[in-house]
């Protein structure tokens, strides 16, 4: 078998439903398997997903084992020569998996391959390519200096903001939301380090891949959507605390001689970040939620059968709505731009087209996705907030 796709799920049944639809399209011409590990979800994920995805192998944990351990459990069941670790709140294009496999064939020295990720509004996610979190790099990340100077080689070494996002680069760290590597190499390295519960496991794995003599490549020509708001809130105190703990585990493991300096710098960075958040909080914009909008105007683009399903879901969830339909993106004109939300109705309509469109038209509309024969519509207009779900009622 050529490829195993591993997805860890925890209470995001509608997002993983749409993710699985896109993955199924991407493996049509690949000898591949999909393994979903459920970390004791309480939203009925498994019962909901099994009905539609009969070819998917489900592994059910009785506890929330965290990202690293759940992936390792699935790794033991993998049959593919390559393994893709994929987050459940992602949408991928039809050709991205084959292109990554081809990249390995052309680069024998490659140990892992990652791609360019954008959020649900089309904005580039800087964690797509990173460097290792040395004490200074971690301090600038946690203190917020990296955000103030995103293109700086000094202050934003963590996210490598000075490297062009649409090119191929050899980098230190790839994001675990989309990370493809070789199964034999993973077995050699004993998979993820389970000391990391949620953050830092991908950093540690990439570090050990380099130590084993391989290179980690970022492929900026391949783009996937990572909604992100479903899995973390970047500005929350909980996120900062979990990130801090992960960095401490990493540094104690790999930078033992600098542990005391790291502790001092990370603590200082956290206090600076907390102070900056306190000062900025009165100026943050208010999040507008669905039930605060009096009238919604939807434009459904894509497969007519999928669009009919999406229309049915919308009318069951909303009153006082306007719905228009288009089968082709080329039919979109300025005269038709008087709507609030675009729903990409996939089926015969390619995911690659929708990803390309929001990449070109970032932040212009609110974007959502509906896969053929699914019961949900999902999207996220802000990576710092929980995404929008329009589901069965």
- At CB < 8 A and 24+ separation, what contacts does 97-100 make? 97/3, 97/5, 97/26, 97/27, 97/30, 97/32, 97/180, 98/26, 98/29, 98/30, 99/219, 99/221, 99/222, 100/180, 100/219, 100/222
Query: Which residues of the chain are under the pLDDT cut of 50?
Result: 231-235, 280-294
The residue assigned the tokens 């830092």 is 200
The pLDDT, as a whole number, for residue 235 is 47
Residue 82 Cα to chain centre, angstroms: 19
Q: What is the DSSP letter of 124?
A: B
Instruction: Give the bridge partners for 308, in sequence order.
Output: none
Q: Are 373 and 360 in contact (CB under 8 A)?
A: no
- pLDDT tens figures, 183-222: 999 999 999 988 877 778 899 999 999 999 999 999 999 9
Distance between CA atoms of residues 390 and 393, nearest Å: 9
Q: What is the pTM of this model?
A: 0.87
Going by C-alpha positions, the residue among 47, 48, 88 that lies closest to residue 67 is 88
Domains and their CATH numbers in the chain: 3-138+149-233 (3.90.550.10), 291-390 (3.40.50)
Distance between CA atoms of residues 67 and 338, nearest Å: 42
- pLDDT tens figures, 46-97: 999 999 999 999 999 999 988 999 999 999 999 999 999 999 999 999 999 9
């Amino acid at each position: 078998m050529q490829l195993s796709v591993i997805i860890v799920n925890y209470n995001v049944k509608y997002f993983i439903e749409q993710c699985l639809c896109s993955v199924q399209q991407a493996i049509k011409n690949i000898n591949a398997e999909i393994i979903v590990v459920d970390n004791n979800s309480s939203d009925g994920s498994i019962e909901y997903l099994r009905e539609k995805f009969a070819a998917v192998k489900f592994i059910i944990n009785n506890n929330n084992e965290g990202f690293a351990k759940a992936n390792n459990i699935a790794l033991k069941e993998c049959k593919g020569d390559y393994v893709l670790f994929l987050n459940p709140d992602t949408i991928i294009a039809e050709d991205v998996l084959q292109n990554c496999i081809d990249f390995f064939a052309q680069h024998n020295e490659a140990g892992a391959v990652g791609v360019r990720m954008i959020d649900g509004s089309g904005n580039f996610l800087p964690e797509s390519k990173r460097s290792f979190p040395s004490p200074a790099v971690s301090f600038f990340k946690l203190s917020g200096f990296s955000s103030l100077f995103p293109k700086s080689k000094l202050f934003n070494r963590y996210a490598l903001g000075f490297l062009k996002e649409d090119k191929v680069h050899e980098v230190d760290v790839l994001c675990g939301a989309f990370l493809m590597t070789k199964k034999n190499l993973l077995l050699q390295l004993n998979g993820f380090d389970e000391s990391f519960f949620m953050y830092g496991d991908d950093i540690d794995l990439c570090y050990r891949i380099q130590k084993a003599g391989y290179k980690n490549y970022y492929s900026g020509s391949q783009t996937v959507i990572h909604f992100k708001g479903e899995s973390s809130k970047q500005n929350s105190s909980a996120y900062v605390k979990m990130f801090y703990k992960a960095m401490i585990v990493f540094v104690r493991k790999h930078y033992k001689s600098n542990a005391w300096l790291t502790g001092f710098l990370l603590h200082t960075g956290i206090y600076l970040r907390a102070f900056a958040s306190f000062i900025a909080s009165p100026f943050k914009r208010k999040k507008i939620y669905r039930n605060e909008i009096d009238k919604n105007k939807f434009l459904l683009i894509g497969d007519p059968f999928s669009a009919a399903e999406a229309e049915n879901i919308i009318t069951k969830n909303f009153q006082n709505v306007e719905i228009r339909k288009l089968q082709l993106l080329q039919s979109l004109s300025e005269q038709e731009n008087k709507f609030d939300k675009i729903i990409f109705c996939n089926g015969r309509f390619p995911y690659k087209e929708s990803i390309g469109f929001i990449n070109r038209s970032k932040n212009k509309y609110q974007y959502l996705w509906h896969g053929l024969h699914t019961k949900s519509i999902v999207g996220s207009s802000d990576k710092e907030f929980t995404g929008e779900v329009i589901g069965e009622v």
